[in-house]
Structure formats: structure tokens, C-alpha cells
Amino acid sequence: MLLRKRQLAGLVLLYISLAGCATVPITGRKQLSLLPQSQVIELSFSSYRQVLQESKLSQDEAKVVLVRRVGRRIAQASDQFLRDNHLEKDLQYYQWEFNLIQDDSTVNAFCMPGGKVAVYTGILPVTQDEAGLAVVLGHEVAHALANHGNERLSQGLVAQLGGVALDVALQNKPAETRQLAMAAYGVGAEVGVLLPYSRTHESEADHIGLILMARAGYDPRAAVPFWERMARMGGGRAPEFLSTHPAPERRIKEIEKEIPEAMKYYKP
């Protein structure tokens, strides 16, 4: 067991030395990103199609239009952010799609790498309006913009599948790899210690999400009442969306500190 741990540690160091570290936009944090983005996107799109096939899409036209309208504005803000920061080459990896899944018992949403987004109807009573929905979609799109899916999938391949390449993992253990990918993208059942997103990722998505919603024309100050409503939900058990988020009081304080930065981008 000790030898295996040393071997895994050696693999991690080798991968880092070969692949280097990526930098998260806005926050500047260094992250492990070992996989070609094209592979991550291909697996993401496949996983997204699987989720939609296994789900019931909402037929409420007004709600669907709402989700897609807010999503389109957040996506445009994300694309413009990349252009403004000379990251136009990354635009090729985003094919934005927003769908509303009919499931009133699930208070959640997710965005897979490449801009594949799903919102569950159970979160709409908490968002209440467009600004509240922009908080959620800004947060989820921020996970994609920050490349959290690649980072977690890289960690998972090293920790759980011995550090093999993604194409080799898919060939040798397709079911396990797809389950790991779904976990890395914030969807599906828990896999090891990688699901849900870490507190670092969640705090980062809060920060980036505020700026995205502000750039999209939504008041970032709407984030505070939204998270207050989320904190009041669920009684003794927090909603899925809060699974490993920072404690509500601390998260709201952090958001309040970050709102002045986001307000610089807000033009109603």
C-alpha cells in the first residue's frame, strides 16, 4: 500500500512537470490541468446528452424561455470576458446550450465543460426572478470558465484510475471513467472524495459568477438575498446545491466583500 501511494505521488509530480499548471481567470489561482481540452469537451458533450436522455425536459415554455434568456446573457458575458482578456482561442471550446429539467424536488443546476447547462425546476422558486437565476447561472458557468471540470477529472484519473490517459481509461474502464467524468462535472452519484466541488472551487465560482452576472447586466447585489434564501431551505439537510459550499454565514460575508469589485462591471 505504501509503495502504491508513493507511485501515485510520483505520477502526480510527473504529470505536473510534463503538463504544467493552468491559471484560473480572474482569481489567478494555479490549477492542475493535465488533459487536452478537446478530450474533456468530447466527454462532456457525451455526458450531457446522457443526462438529457435520462431526464424529463420541462414543457413550460415561459420557464424554458426565462432560463435560456438569462443563460444567453451570461454566456455572452463569458465570451466577451475571454475576448477582453486575449483568450479568444478558448472560444472554440464553448457551444452554449441551456435546458430546463422538470424535477421540482431537485434544487440544483450544473454547467459542464464546453457550456452545456441544465437547470432543475426545483431551484426556480428560490431564484424567484431573473437576477436570482443569474446568480445561479453565473456561478455554474464560472465552473466551466475556471476549467474546474478538467482539474477534477485530472485529479480523478490520477487518484482512482492510476493516472492513465483519458482515452486509455475510456477503452479499459469505460463505465468507471464516465462515472468519474460525471462526478468531475458536478453531476451524478458521489465518487470517492471528488464530489461535490471543493470549497475552493465553490468560492471561486461565487467570485467569478458575480462578475459574469454584472457584465451581463444583472445586479450582483442580488446574490446575497439568493444565498440567504438557499440557507433557509432544507431544515437540517442542505439542498444539493449547497453540498460542500462554505458555511452560509461565511459565504455571504465573502460575497459581500466581492460585490464592490463586481459592481464596477454592472451597467443596468
- Per DSSP, the residues of the chain read -HHHHHHHHHHHHHHHHHH-EEE-TTT--EEE--S-HHHHHHHHHHHHHHHHHTSPBP--HHHHHHHHHHHHHHHHHHHHHHHHTT-GGGGGG---EEEEE--TT---EEEETTTEEEEEGGGHHHH-SHHHHHHHHHHHHHHHHTTHHHHHHHHHHHHHSTT--HHHHHHH-HHHHHHHHHHHTT-SS--TTT-S--HHHHHHHHHHHHHHHHHTT--GGGHHHHHHHHHHTTTTS--GGGTTSPPHHHHHHHHHHHHHHHHTT---
- Catalytic position from the list 97, 140, 204, 258: 140
The answer to whether 258 is a known catalytic residue is no
Positions annotated as catalytic residues are 140
